[in-house]
Amino acid sequence: MNTGDKLQTQAQVPLCDFAALGISQSLANALSGQHIKTPTPIQAEAIPEILRGGDFVLSSPTGTGKTLAYLLPAFAKLSDDTELVKKVQVLILLPTYELAAQVWNVASALWREAGVGGAEPVLVIGNAGIGRQIEALKKKPRVVIGSPGRVCELIKLKKLVTHFVHTLVLDEGDRLADKTTLEHLTEIVKTIPRKSRQTLLFSATAKITAERFHDFFDNPRFISIGGTKRTEIPRGIHHIAVSCERRDKLKAIRGYIHGNKVEKALLFVRNAEEAQRMAERLSFHGIATLAISSNHTGPQRKTAINKLREGGVTLLVATDAASRGLDIPALTHVFHMEPPFTAEEYLHRAGRVGRMGNSGESVVFVSGKELERLLMIGKTLDIRVEV
């Protein structure tokens, strides 16, 4: 594979307003309505380049706005031509159902607020009824977001036509690179004409991942913003492990919140169902709590986040996917129902606090061998965990 030019590494990109990047004023206004007014470095660097065309492999640290870095140019390039207005033009693939649902929520909210017109983006994932997804596809959307397995299935059933796709996005590419998923991706890519396709790969390990997807690209260029070192974690964070039996974790969380007079915090849990359950139980015990997960719409998620920002609630219970891009300056605590399985996930979670030189606490509730896992993460990230 000819890997082309490397555009930027550790780039210092001057920020500007979104309209100056080449997207429509309606998209820029929609972002302003969501209180998003200044592009992040990856957005400022990537959007104009993507709009010019060509394949790209892009990387930047977690929480830097990669979703909008591909949604905005993809939306800007949608054709209103009578032959294409009811064809799938943008296909976005993600490794998990929850990540796909999260991106779909962002895309749908942006679509509505910008008044793009036509059928809204459609979500197709494997843990939902295929019949309803087929019905949604009959509305002729121009944007489809989903998991590779279900997309491949729908293509084989001839319910999803990808011949007119001009933008193919592979998000979280390092997690798409397992054997089974690559097989699905290969089948999908075969259905999209090469000459009209722009392929965008977003990955934390861009160079390594790109080699696994080499057949999908035509002379891709690389954009890297800020590096991807795992030790990039704010130093103002105090990392704490609280040991207790699993059945006592809810009680321990309540005690910590009350004992430390916590006013703005996030609690990370494993999945959407647990997020809702924990929010209900903590609310019952007098802690104002809301959940954000793939089971919530974009407006519901936005309302919950605003309530935390404004002091209407004390705690948001979130999944990893639902919290991506979340920025609450006054956040003081991040709680973990259990330690994540990777250092990258811990970095993403704990990095919600300690921003702009502020201090904060990342508190992990551990039982059994979970403490050993947390200490290994601490060693990888070069942080001290108080036990």
Query: What's the CA gap between 63 and 74, in Å, rounded?
Result: 20
**In a shared domain, residues 200 and 241:** no
Mark whether 73 and 19 lie in a shared domain.
Answer: yes
Let me know if residue 164 belongs to a domain. yes
Q: What is the distance between the alpha carbons of residues 29 and 13, in angstroms, rounded to a whole number?
A: 22
Whether residue 155 is found in the same domain as residue 72: yes
pLDDT tens profile 129-141: 899 999 999 999 9
1 found inside a domain: no
Q: What is the pLDDT of residue 270?
A: 85
**Are 220 and 255 contained in the same domain?**
no
268 pairs with which residues across the strands? 318, 336
Between CA 228 and CA 344 the distance in angstroms is: 10
The predicted pLDDT at position 2 comes to: 46
pLDDT on residue 236: 80
On the CB side of 10, CA atoms within 13 Å amount to 1
Q: 121 with 104: CB under 8 angstroms? A: yes
Q: Is there a domain that residue 110 lies in?
A: yes
Domain assignment of residue 250, given as a range: 237-386
At 102, which CATH number? 3.40.50.300
User: pLDDT for 60-114, tens place per residue?
Assistant: 766 678 899 999 999 999 998 888 889 999 999 998 887 888 899 899 989 999 9
Identify whether residues 142 and 247 lie together within a single domain: no
**CA-CA distance, 319 to 266, in Å (whole number)?**
10
Bridge partners of residue 222, in order along the sequence: 6, 57
- Our count of domains for the chain comes to 2
Instruction: Answer whether residue 227 shows pLDDT above 60.
Output: no
Examine the domain organization and report whether 345 and 369 are in the same domain: yes
Q: Give the Cα separation of 115 and 97 in Å (integer).
A: 26
Are residues 66 and 214 located together in one domain of the fold?
yes
pLDDT in tens, 158-212: 999 999 999 999 998 877 877 888 899 999 999 999 888 999 999 866 655 667 7
Claim to verify: residue 307 and residue 349 sit in the same structural domain: yes
Do 193 and 242 sit in the same domain of this protein?
no
pTM over 0.95: no
> Residue 118, class by beta-carbon neighbours within 10 Å (0-12 exposed, 13-18 middle, 19+ buried)?
middle
Is 150:126 a contact under the CB 8 Å cutoff?
yes
**Per-residue pLDDT at 4:** 47
Helix (H) / strand (E) element for 75: namely helix 66-76
Q: Locate 156 and state its tokens.
A: 């084989």
d(CA 160, CA 153) in angstroms, rounded, equals 9
Q: Is the dihedral of CA 10, 58, 354, 375 positive or negative?
A: negative
| Cα 316 from Cα 323, distance rounded (Å) | 10
* Cα dihedral: 344, 348, 351, 353 (round 10): -140
pLDDT score at 99: 84
Average pLDDT, the chain: 86
Q: Are residues 67 and 203 in the same domain?
A: yes
The confidence score (pLDDT) of residue 3 equals 44
